[in-house]
Structures are given as C-alpha cells and as structure tokens.
Amino acid sequence: MRNYLRRRLAGWIRRRQGPDSLPLRLSRRRLYILPTRIGVGFGLVLILMLVAGLNYANSTALFLTFLLAGFSLVTMHQCHRNMLGTQLLSANAEATFARHDGVLNLTFENSGASARYRIAAGVGDESTSAADLPAHGLEKLELRVAAPRRGRVRIDRLHLITTYPFGLFRTWTWVHAPIEMLVYPQPRGSLPMPTTSGNKAGAQSLVVNTGYDEWLGLRPFRDGDSPRQVDWKAYAREAPLLVKEYAASGSELRQFEFGALPHLEVEARLEQLARWVVDAEAIGESYGLTLPDTCIDPDRGPEHRHRCLAALALFGLESESHGDADR
C-alpha cells in the first residue's frame, strides 16, 4: 500500500512539474515539506503538554508548550529555506561495465550568502549521499547507480531531500531530467586475441603476442583492466592504483570480429570482444572491431576504447528500441 501511494504521488508530481532541463533552480513551487517521524512524535508530545497544562492550569507548562511550538515553526521555515534556491547545474553518468555500479556525478551551486547543510540526493525514492553546500560555492555529489546489464540505463528521476535542522521536517523534490548511463558488456572470456599482421592484410591467426618490448609508462586504473597489468609494487607503497602500458613489438594489428566466434551465444561473444578490447588497450596495441552492422578501423587510446565498447554495449538494442517505437 505504501509503495502504491508513493507511485501515485510520484506520477502526480511528474504531471504537475513536467519534464526538467539542467541547470535547474529549486523554486518554491516545486518544494514539498512534511514532518518526519520524529517531528510527528514531537507534535504529539506538544499536544499532551498543552492538555496537561490546561487541565492543571499550569502557566509554566503552557509557556514551555508555546515556546516549543514556536521553535518547531522556525525549524520548519529553516528546513524549507535550506533547499530553496539551490541550483542543480549538471548530472553526468560515467560509462561503466555490466554488473558493476556506475557513478552519477551531480554538481550543485549555492548562490546564497549562507551555507546549505545536508542536501541529500538519490536515484528513485531513496537518498544515498549528502553534501554541505558552501555559501556562493559549488559542491559535487556522487551517487551509485546499479548496472545489471549492458545497454543504456535511463535514470527517470532524482530525489533531493533535506531534514536540516534537527530532523523534525523533511523538505524534498524530484527532478525529472533526461539522464542516461552507458553500460558496456562485462569483459569476460579466456580465448586468445586474434592477430592480423600489418604486412599481410587480412591474414589472421590465433596467436598471442607476448613480446611486449616497448615500455609506454603507467596510467590510472580503469574499470575492466586486467589485474595482471596493475603495478602492485607501486600500490604497496601507497601510490594510486596504476596500470602498466606496453607497446607490442612488430607491426601487428588486432581486428576483433563478431563473426569469428560462431560457437558462442550473442552475449558471450560481446563479453569476449569486450575482454579483447580492454586487454589490447591495456598493452598499448592498435585494434579494430567488426560487428554485423559496424566496422571500426584499428586505432588506440581512450576515445577509441570507448567507441569500441559503446558499439558492443548498444549492439542489437538500438534496432529493438526503434521497433518498439514503431509499434
């Protein structure tokens, strides 16, 4: 019943507010406030104190009751004011791998002369992280987003909430902005990478190149990198998690083809291709990707890695979404 009422309330608020676009200033019209459980209990205590004070004609009890009632009204005003005027400048979700949590980066701005405290945010109804916004300043907040499968994760709404001060009242709002997170296939598989010689175009063999002669250096660890490439000695010296990069000897190119794995299911093929892309990038080799509807020429670097993994993430999904729209 509680979840049903929440869904009905969320649907009514979505229709009332309409779609949002960033940057967004939290105006008075879109903020909602109600007492928390502690606030309800506090109100019941005030009612009991009022009844007792009137029954026994105790002026001290009545004075204390009205003083605490005034305190609660000021607290309600402060709770509402703590969020009023706050700006949500941006909401960007970094790409991640399937079965890993993604990160949604929120950037808030406080243009007021006083700080804002304990502004919490979450995906859906739950608030998972909070931050204090300095006066005339910016603050970033990171939210964890579940990514159970490859494709696009659409974040329908953000929940912003504060209970400052004292936790007697809760001020909240929802933000319905178009936010998407790209989810790569999980890099998994044990097959050796196919090698296409740069001198003999089109010739392929299942040979693993182990002659990593040229040392390129260290780079920050990226999600999906092989643990074998991590510089564990540097990590033991309390350095950041770094990955060793090498360039393969010779002039070999890697061309990873979807059609070269006929014995695997579609998802298993995509996971194996993702494994090859991640490993080839980690050792500094040039590689390309061939899918039934996409051909990416050999290259290397973070942008090329993202282009290949994004093609794997969206393989077969874009046509399905278009088909659903046509129906």
**Which pLDDT score is estimated for 247?**
56
**Which pLDDT score is estimated for 140?**
92
Give residue 117's pLDDT band: very low, low, confident or very high (50, 70, 90).
Answer: very high
* Between residues 119 and 7, the one the model is more confident about: 119
**Which pLDDT score is estimated for 245?**
67
Whole-number Å distance between alpha carbons of 137 and 94: 24
Which segments within the chain are labelled E, that is strand? Answer: 24-25, 32-35, 87-93, 96-97, 102-110, 116-123, 129-133, 137-145, 151-155, 158-162, 169-175, 179-184, 195-197, 204-205, 214-220, 242-247, 252-257, 287-291, 294-299
Q: Give the CA distances from residue 306 to residues 212, 299, 310, in Å, rounded to whole numbers and listed in that order.
A: 23, 12, 6
Tell me the per-residue pLDDT of 135-152, one tens digit each, with 9 for 90 and over.
Answer: 999 999 999 988 889 999
Whole-number Å distance between alpha carbons of 108 and 114: 14
Query: Which two three-digit tokens encode residue 221?
Result: 């660890």
**Which pLDDT score is estimated for 326?**
45
* Between residues 239 and 269, the one the model is more confident about: 269
**Which pLDDT score is estimated for 7?**
77
Identify which of 177, 173, 106 has the alpha carbon closest to the alpha carbon of residue 139.
Answer: 106
Identify which of 147, 208, 211, 210 has the alpha carbon closest to the alpha carbon of residue 180.
Answer: 147
Give residue 18's pLDDT band: very low, low, confident or very high (50, 70, 90).
Answer: confident
**Which pLDDT score is estimated for 50?**
94
> What does pLDDT average to over the chain?
83
Tell me the per-residue pLDDT of 156-166, one tens digit each, with 9 for 90 and over.
Answer: 889 899 999 99
**Which pLDDT score is estimated for 276?**
92
- Kindly give, in sequence order, each residue whose CB lies less than 8 Å from that of residue 118, ignoring residues fewer than 6 positions away: 82, 130, 132, 162, 163, 164
* Between residues 17 and 296, the one the model is more confident about: 296
**Which pLDDT score is estimated for 196?**
58
**Which pLDDT score is estimated for 212?**
43
CATH architecture of structural domain 2-184: Sandwich (2.60)
Q: What is the mean pLDDT of residues 254-277?
A: 91
Q: Is 0.75 topped by the overall pTM?
A: no
Tell me the per-residue pLDDT of 195-233, one tens digit each, with 9 for 90 and over.
Answer: 654 433 333 333 334 444 455 567 777 766 677 777 777
Give residue 127's pLDDT band: very low, low, confident or very high (50, 70, 90).
Answer: low
Q: Give the CA distances from residue 180 to residues 13, 15, 102, 231, 238, in Å, rounded to whole numbers and listed in that order.
A: 21, 21, 11, 33, 35
Tell me the per-residue pLDDT of 24-47, one tens digit each, with 9 for 90 and over.
Answer: 999 998 899 999 999 999 999 999
DSSP collapsed to 3 states, 32-67: EEEECHHHHHHHHHHHHHHHHHHHCCCHHHHHHHHH
CATH 2.60.40.10 domain extents, the chain: 2-184
Query: Which two three-digit tokens encode residue 66?
Result: 């009205």
**Which pLDDT score is estimated for 320?**
52
Tell me the per-residue pLDDT of 49-98, one tens digit each, with 9 for 90 and over.
Answer: 999 999 988 999 999 999 999 999 999 999 999 999 999 999 999 899 99
